[in-house]
Amino acid sequence: MTFDTVGCSCQKRDHRQIDMEIRSVKGMNDIFEPQIHIWRHIEDQVRKHFESFCYTEIKTPVVESTTLFSRGVGDSTDIVQKEMYTFEDRNGEKLSLRPEGTAPVVRALLEHQLLNQDPIQRLYYWGPMFRYERPQKGRYRQFHQYGVEYFGSEDAWVGAEVIAMVVKLFEKLKLKGLAVRLGSVGCDQCRPSYKTILSESLKSLHAQLCSDCQNRTQKNPLRVFDCKNESCKKLVGQLPRILDHLCQVCGDHFAKLQGALGEFGVSYRVDSGLVRGLDYYMRTVFEVTSQDLGAQDAVGGGGRYDKLSEDLGGKPVPAVGFAGGIERLAMLLESRQTEFQPKLPLYVVMPDDQGVGTCARLVSELRLLGIRADIDYSGRSMKSQMKRADRSGADYVLILGGQEISKKMAVLRNMKTKAQEEIPLETLVDDLKRRLQ
Ligand code: HAM
């Protein structure tokens, strides 16, 4: 079973089976059983993990003013240029579905002056994001991110702690085959002169670049490193790298970051061509990739963005953060999905309707104690009830009908050992509580 065929509406649509005109929007998926159990597992682990690092949750609206993203993420990025869902509301205000979570969190931080309460703010979030990209495996138009943002320190140790926290999360989730790529994109001091050097080098390669990169040469030349076009990929090797052009402060920061990652025991690879698709980064950038994801291999990414607050009209606030895609994490956990299935301790089978009142009361009492129990009131045959009970994976099946009531006994079948025993009705609830709780 693959993510694209189970528990998710991104399966190929079979028009012979479903004759429906209204369907989910392309690139936007329904998530349901069994996939939803993996999602729940991820959510539980992520929340627990971030909270143990003293992050608290923030929820921001799904819709924000378009200006937030054009100023925050950057006017010349693909996200703002091509991928945002933007519309005017009834009042003529230009709004966008959020394509990412960092700019909204910074907006909220400034709007509510959270740094006045505590000069260090550690916030995490979880929710849907929207980008009008070409859908493919691992890339959707509505996708979900979990993320963290740390505000209030320029220190390289903080970035290292964020990266280490992310790596430890993936270890807790028992993910294999991941790699951390680390880079620096410099700062306002060193990046402009590097951009000039890069643009000069790109001029001589202009004719060999794809049309997107030809446009990027002046406005956003660093994006050339991220181009998926084969001919551009080959040319990238000849280009000067920002890591050779960092100013002293950025160079020292990058060295300190690597030292701190060593202390945290994090393995990483310095990637001098690592650029990210958002303009707000300065100094640290990083990405975690998986060898098991195919073309869309980024499990998550992040970096430092000390100037974003000022870009949005606030005072300077040093910050660093990370966000990961939940769909991609779920894909990596898919082969273990039975682990995340909720257990079913009891299934009640009724051979006839004479015990239905007793069975209904019993199931209800157990459920109120938090014990999952299933029952089928539809009067199906014993055979089909047993078949469904078997498929449900229940630990025990309780059989209770007219015959059992006349004997004042119920039959309890252990589905693993297939052993059956009779339990007096008088002590049934206590007996089941003891066994199943
Ligand atoms: P990003 O690299 O654009 O960073 O997205 C983070 C992660 O979201 C990606 O690595 C990927 O796992 C997932 N993702 C992105 N687009 C899609 C898509 N179309 N379909 C499925 N998954 C996707 C950010 O969004 C930054 N806000 C991260 C950050 C936080 N930087 C600092 N703080």
* Residue owning the nearest CA to atom 2 of ligand 1: 301
Question: Would you say 290 and 279 are in contact if contact means Cβ atoms under 8 Å apart?
Answer: no
Q: Residue 164, Cβ neighbours under 10 Å: how many?
A: 18
C-alpha closest to that of 331 among 219, 189, 181, 173: 173
What pLDDT score does 132 carry?
A: 98
Q: Residue type for 396, please?
A: Y
pLDDT surpassing 50 at residue 334: yes
What pLDDT score does 281 carry?
A: 97
Flag whether 206 is in a domain: no
Flag whether 15 is in a domain: no
Give the tens place of pLDDT for each residue, 203-220.
888 888 898 888 888 778
Q: Which of 317, 337, 357 is the last residue of a domain?
A: 337
* Residue owning the nearest CA to atom 17 of ligand 1: 139
Q: Residue 154, Cβ neighbours under 10 Å: how many?
A: 15
3-state secondary structure of 253: helix
Q: Which atom of ligand 1 is nearest to the CA of 103?
A: 27
Mean pLDDT of 360-382: 96
How remote is the CA of residue 322 from the centroid of ligand 1, in Å? 8
**Which tokens hold the place of 6?**
């189970």
Flag whether 11 is in a domain: no
Q: Clarify whether residues 91 and 180 are in a common domain.
A: yes
Q: Which atom of ligand 1 is nearest to the CA of 287?
A: 10
Q: Which atom of ligand 1 is nearest to the CA of 147?
A: 30
How remote is the CA of residue 73 from the centroid of ligand 1, in Å? 12
How remote is the CA of residue 325 from the centroid of ligand 1, in Å? 6
C-alpha closest to that of 106 among 361, 246, 313, 377: 313
Q: Which atom of ligand 1 is nearest to the CA of 101?
A: 27
What pLDDT score does 18 carry?
A: 63
How remote is the CA of residue 286 from the centroid of ligand 1, in Å? 12
Q: Clarify whether residues 177 and 304 are in a common domain.
A: yes
Q: Which of 284, 303, 337 is the last residue of a domain?
A: 337
Give the tens place of pLDDT for each residue, 233-289.
888 888 999 999 999 999 999 999 999 999 999 999 999 999 888 999 999 999 999
- 182-197 in b/e form (b: 16+ CB < 10 A) is bbbbbbeebbeebbee
Looking at the DSSP bridge assignments, the partners of residue 56 are 123
Give the tens place of pLDDT for each residue, 90-106.
999 999 999 999 999 99
Cα 181 from Cα 174, distance rounded (Å): 19
Ligand 1 pocket: which residues have CB below 6 Å? 100-102, 131, 133, 139-140, 143, 145, 147, 149, 277-278, 298-303, 305, 321-325, 327-328
Q: Which atom of ligand 1 is nearest to the CA of 99?
A: 25
3-state secondary structure of 431: helix
Cα 168 from Cα 150, distance rounded (Å): 17
Task: Assign residue 361 the CATH number of its domain.
Answer: 3.40.50.800
What pLDDT score does 16 carry?
A: 52
Cα 319 from Cα 309, distance rounded (Å): 9
pLDDT surpassing 60 at residue 9: no
Give the tens place of pLDDT for each residue, 54-78.
999 999 999 999 999 999 999 888 8
Q: Which atom of ligand 1 is nearest to the CA of 276?
A: 2
How remote is the CA of residue 248 from the centroid of ligand 1, in Å? 30
- 398-410 in b/e form (b: 16+ CB < 10 A) is bbbbeebbeeebb
The pick from 130, 145, 166 for probing ligand 1's pocket by mutation, whose C-beta has the most ligand atoms within 8 angstroms, reads 145
Q: Clarify whether residues 415 and 394 are in a common domain.
A: yes
* Residue owning the nearest CA to atom 31 of ligand 1: 302
Domains held by the chain: number: 2
Flag whether 35 is in a domain: yes
Query: What is the DSSP code (8-state) at residue 13?
Result: P
Q: Which atom of ligand 1 is nearest to the CA of 328?
A: 12
Q: Clarify whether residues 171 and 115 are in a common domain.
A: yes
pLDDT surpassing 90 at residue 4: no
* Angle ∠(45,48,53) on CA atoms, nearest 5: 125
* Angle (deg, nearest 10), helices 248-263 and 156-172: 40
Q: Residue type for 295, please?
A: A
Please state whether the peptide bond connecting residue 34 to the residue before it is cis, i.e. omega within 30 degrees of 0: yes
How remote is the CA of residue 150 from the centroid of ligand 1, in Å? 17
Question: Would you say 205 and 238 are in contact if contact means Cβ atoms under 8 Å apart?
Answer: yes
How remote is the CA of residue 335 from the centroid of ligand 1, in Å? 23
Q: Clarify whether residues 323 and 347 are in a common domain.
A: no
What pLDDT score does 212 carry?
A: 84
What pLDDT score does 310 carry?
A: 97
Cα 401 from Cα 358, distance rounded (Å): 9
Residue 324's Cβ-count burial label (10 Å; 0-12, 13-18, 19+) is buried
Residue 137's Cβ-count burial label (10 Å; 0-12, 13-18, 19+) is middle
* Residue owning the nearest CA to atom 22 of ligand 1: 325
Q: Which atom of ligand 1 is nearest to the CA of 145?
A: 8
* Residue owning the nearest CA to atom 11 of ligand 1: 325
Domain that holds residue 253: 20-190+246-337
Question: DSSP letter string over 200-231?
Answer: HHHHHHGGGS-HHHHHHHHH-GGGGGG---HH
Q: Clarify whether residues 418 and 277 are in a common domain.
A: no
Q: Which of 337, 352, 379 is the last residue of a domain?
A: 337
